[in-house]
Structure 1
Amino acid sequence: MALTERPASWKFEIEMPEMGNPDSITVLSAEPGKESLEAIFYDGQVFEFTKSLSVSAEARWAGNDVSVSVFVETAFSSSCSRCLAPSDIEIMNDFMYLYSLRKNEASGENTEEDDFQVVPVSRWTRFLDISDQVWESVILSLPRQVLCSKDCKGLCPLCGKSLNEGKCGCSPDTLDPRFKKLLGVRIEEKRE
């Protein structure tokens, strides 16, 4: 499965702070409609929204660039990677982006910008489109491995019973028949 693309209906724009005023701050608070919250396919997992997505953003000048902090909050349901039971996942994360007219030039020096993801823009307009960065923030907040609990025991490899519900009747000495041929393999060590 490939990564789901950003829904076209996701449109997040924040008004630019007053030009040249370092004290000027603009804010955005938005929740996309339920119809735009379809399941997300990511890294072989399906994430179903169980709570609406809440997006908050704040923009301010940082020298000649605009610094935008994006906060996303929502909840998903997905299958546990070990036992396949439905698992609830809450995300609450914030990300920083630096919108800049300058080209992203690599330099060997550490600067304040190292804490930001730099987003190049061609010109300043009244509103700054942060839709792609909101989508990126949601995707980066998803776990790479979903677990129903940190001590999930998974499934029995022989009978498939969830070991979280107790032991199954399978003998621990029982070998998966697909691996029996490996018992006859001998590995010789080369000595120099």
Structure 2
Amino acid sequence: MKIEIEKVKKKQLDLSEVEPASHFPVLVAMEAAGECTFTAPVSAKVTAVWEYDHVRATGHVESAARLTCSRCLAEYDLPLTSDFTIFYTEGEDEGSEDEVELSDEELISATYTGDEIDMAPEIAEQVMLEVPYKPLCSESCKGLCPECGADLNAGECGCDRGGINLKMAALKKIKIEK
């Protein structure tokens, strides 16, 4: 998806695009790393307007992914949606190595050069940010039994999980006198 600068200076542009996840290298890398499997194409709708000396791009991105729960190892599907606003200003990207504090406006801004803006990296970034770092099939997921490996969401396994942690067993022998 590309925003042509001359067109957006004249009037508002409404763009939409549907691409497979394989169109975005960052998403392909996520799948290759085993983080998730994208089960739906990436659908993006963007409205771009010229404001003073910059382009304001407001958009909505949708997709879906199959994830593996980090507690019980069950696979589940998760819809991914994100609304975003990015301000594009003309200029070179300053790739400084110094650490600097960014303002809220700088966090949602990017630079462009030439006569068009390629939105593909930002669209992929929005999808990537919606994939959870530690996926859970539900907030109440009980996970697996550390003794036998049974799925505790399906029911109790009967193992005695109230045993003594051997790492802390020595502390039981300590006597504190008052």
| TM-score normalised by structure 2 residue count | 0.77
Structure 2 partner of 1:147? 136
Displacement of 1:157: 1.0
Distance 1:79 1:33, change over 3 A: closer
Alignment of 1:16-165 (within 5 A): 16=5, 18=7, 20-21=9-10, 24-33=11-20, 36=23, 41=30, 46-101=35-90, 114=105, 117-123=108-114, 125=115, 127-165=116-154
Distance 1:117 1:14, change over 3 A: same
Displacement of 1:136: 1.2
For structure 2, the residue ranges without an aligned partner over 5 or more in a row are: 95-100
Runs of 4+ in structure 1 over 4 Å off: 37-40, 102-105, 185-189
Aligned-residue RMSD, C-alpha? 3.2
Aligned with 1:183 (options 158, 169, 174)? 169
Displacement of 1:18: 3.6
Per-residue CA deviation, residues 118-166 of structure 1 (Å, 9 max, x unaligned), is: 111234x1x3211111111111121222111121111111111110000
How many residues align? The count is: 165
Q: Residue type of the partner of 2:17?
A: A
Query: Counterparts of 1:36 and 1:103 in 2: how far apart (Å)?
Result: 26
SS at match of 1:41: helix
Q: Residue type of the partner of 2:112?
A: V
Provide the identity percentage: 29
Q: Residue type of the partner of 1:74?
A: S
Displacement of 1:47: 1.2
1:99, 1:118 within 8 Å by CA — same for their partners in 2? yes
Displacement of 1:17: 5.8
Displacement of 1:103: 6.9
Q: Residue type of the partner of 2:126?
A: S
